[in-house]
Amino acid sequence: MNKGNATSKGLLTGSLLTAIAATASLPQLVHAHGYVSDPPSRAYACKLGLNQQCGAAQYEPQSVGEITKGFPVGGPVDGKLASGGNPSRPDFAPLDEQSASRWHLTPITSRDIAFDWYYTVGHPATKFEYFITKAGWNPNEPLSRAAFELTPFCFVDGKGEKPGHGDQEGPAREKHHCTLPADRNGQHVILGIWTVDDTANAFHNVMDVDIQIEGGTPEWPRVGNITPHRDLRQGDKVKARAFIGTTESAQHSVSISIDNAQDGIGGNWSHKLAKHINETQPLVKAGQVDAQGNIRPVVGANLIFAKAASGVTSYQLDFETKPIDDAYLHLHGIKPEYVLKEGQGTIDFSVMTNRKLQVTSQLFDQQNQQVGHTSQLVDASTAPVALEASSRAGKHLLKVVGVDGDKRVVLQEEREVSLLDAGNTEHDYVFPQSIETYKAGTLVLQGKTGEVFECKPFPVEGWCRIYSPNANQYEPGVGSHWQDAWIKH
């Protein structure tokens, strides 16, 4: 295995590359053969349920991306790098949709990364190559060669050998150990290519990642990112919210307004915000680190650094956008408490909107770390939301954002909820879930106390089904007459 940077001679520029790739003859494609399983390829993340509305890719991730070898001169045409552009498989086209919020991002917490493949047919391999998007790339534009570094950051010699266990379906014999470029942080796409030795094809898999790696220097440790995921409009505002632990620091938080259309371009507002941080915060700096170690704002993605004396531990970007006519997004059924069982739980509620919106729900723990995430399309209706969380008991922040087709935030709302630990205690329902079915012997978990109660037998079992916010006298462990209906376990 050969790890590290590979050299590339005579690389052609974007438009010419596209023309060559578009006119290349397409050989007869054979049956599907493999995919990157870790970090999951975009298609495999569809199969895992992390991505939605993927088309046929969710059923056969091993079929995605097979097309002529030779990237960047050959291979898929621009705009179809994710699907492969195989004309016989137009049902893979949804994978080519591209925006900052379209796909699940796999967190990457180390620059030393191991790529793992899964093979349904382990054809002999000529080589494996891994390409990454440039610093400051625009995640809201279709994936093209212009977005990627055209020299792979990692190269593995396939030696003409089968990378799996012979002809048997299964995982690779070994992972590919690579090192991510030192200047990449935040949202990126990695293109992994398996060039087959005994056909004219290669398999192209894209991976959507969020590189979350500490950077900076001992004097200026990194505490956040300014990633220009989307363009904004005149009148919008962006705020870099500073946190000291779990408490927001108004002193170190900085906001800017979008004064004109030029300001609203993603790279421009990122530069403006970074510059304003540097002008107003003596203990905080934003920008990219140059060869001399200076931190300077750039047009594109910027990083945020803070001296220890500031106390700042993290930053979070918030967007305040101008309302769009009468569009709305309402939240219903959010409970003050939810229950964890063995560290896992579901935050369920519903959203109602009169527009077609991409609704993203995130849950953050007391250290401001994301412990749950889900995103779904809601088309002028009421829809249930079930956010799967993995965390510990304690107070959490639920953040719900609705974004329209123009990437405009229609609503951004935060609610505080508490997660309670149910331990290993058995129960049938979390009160008042399915209250109409309660009968003698039904076991319910009271989320407010973490205790389990059993419904008493006839003739008082009917009282177990009496509950409303204005009539809670029989609410287990809480109501004034709960002991008339329930037995505490």
Give the integer Cα–Cα distance in Å for 275 and 164: 50
pLDDT at 32 over 50: no
Instruction: Locate 117 and state its tokens.
Output: 């493949």
Q: What percentage of the chain carries pLDDT values higher than 70?
A: 89
Measured in whole angstroms, the distance separating CA 111 from the mean position of its chain's CA atoms is 18
Q: What is the pLDDT of residues 53-92, one digit of tens each?
A: 898 998 899 999 999 999 999 999 999 999 999 998 999 9
pLDDT for 294 equals 84
DSSP class per residue in 152-172: -SEEEEEEEE-SSBTTB-EE-
pLDDT at 41 over 50: yes
Q: What is the pLDDT of residues 281-328, one digit of tens each?
A: 999 999 887 767 788 898 877 889 999 999 998 888 888 877 666 778
pLDDT at 141 over 70: yes
Q: What is the pLDDT of residues 98-110, one digit of tens each?
A: 987 688 888 787 8
Among 17-31, 181-195, 321-335, the range of highest mean pLDDT = 181-195
pLDDT for 423 equals 64
Q: Is 336 exposed, middle or buried (0-12, 13-18, 19+ CB in 10 A)?
A: exposed
pLDDT for 377 equals 86
pLDDT for 325 equals 63
The DSSP 8-state label assigned to residue 77 in this structure reads P
Query: What average pLDDT does range 377-393 have in this prediction?
Result: 88
pLDDT for 224 equals 85
- Average pLDDT over the chain reads 84
Please, which pLDDT band fits residue 408 given cuts at 50, 70 and 90?
low
Please, which pLDDT band fits residue 36 given cuts at 50, 70 and 90?
very high
Query: What average pLDDT does range 438-464 have in this prediction?
Result: 89
Give the integer Cα–Cα distance in Å for 100 and 230: 7
Please, which pLDDT band fits residue 376 given cuts at 50, 70 and 90?
confident
Q: What is the pLDDT of residues 5-15, one digit of tens each?
A: 433 333 333 43
pLDDT at 187 over 50: yes
Asked if 233 and 264 touch (Cβ cutoff 8 Å), the reply is yes
Tell which wins on pLDDT, 444 or 451: 444
Question: How much helix, strand and coil, in percent to the nearest 5, is found in the chain?
Answer: 15, 40, 45
Q: Could you tell me which of 138, 148, 140, 136 has the C-alpha nearest to residue 193?
A: 148
Give every CB contact of residue 367 below 8 A, 6+ residues apart in sequence: 245, 246
Query: What average pLDDT does range 356-383 have in this prediction?
Result: 84
> pTM for the whole thing?
0.50
Count of CB atoms situated within 10 Å of the CB of 110? 11
Please, which pLDDT band fits residue 130 given cuts at 50, 70 and 90?
very high
Q: What percentage of the chain carries pLDDT values higher than 90?
A: 43
Asked if 359 and 378 touch (Cβ cutoff 8 Å), the reply is yes
Q: What is the pLDDT of residues 345-363, one digit of tens each?
A: 889 999 998 888 888 898 8
- CB hemisphere CA count around 346 (13 angstroms): 8
pLDDT for 145 equals 96
Give every CB contact of residue 408 below 8 A, 6+ residues apart in sequence: 233, 321, 324
Among 81-85, 334-338, 350-354, 451-455, the range of highest mean pLDDT = 81-85
With residue 296 as reference, give the H or E element that holds it: strand 295-296
Q: Is 148 exposed, middle or buried (0-12, 13-18, 19+ CB in 10 A)?
A: buried
pLDDT for 324 equals 62
Instruction: Locate 57 and state its tokens.
Output: 């890719």
- CB hemisphere CA count around 444 (13 angstroms): 27
pLDDT for 72 equals 96
**Residue showing tokens 């010699």:** 157
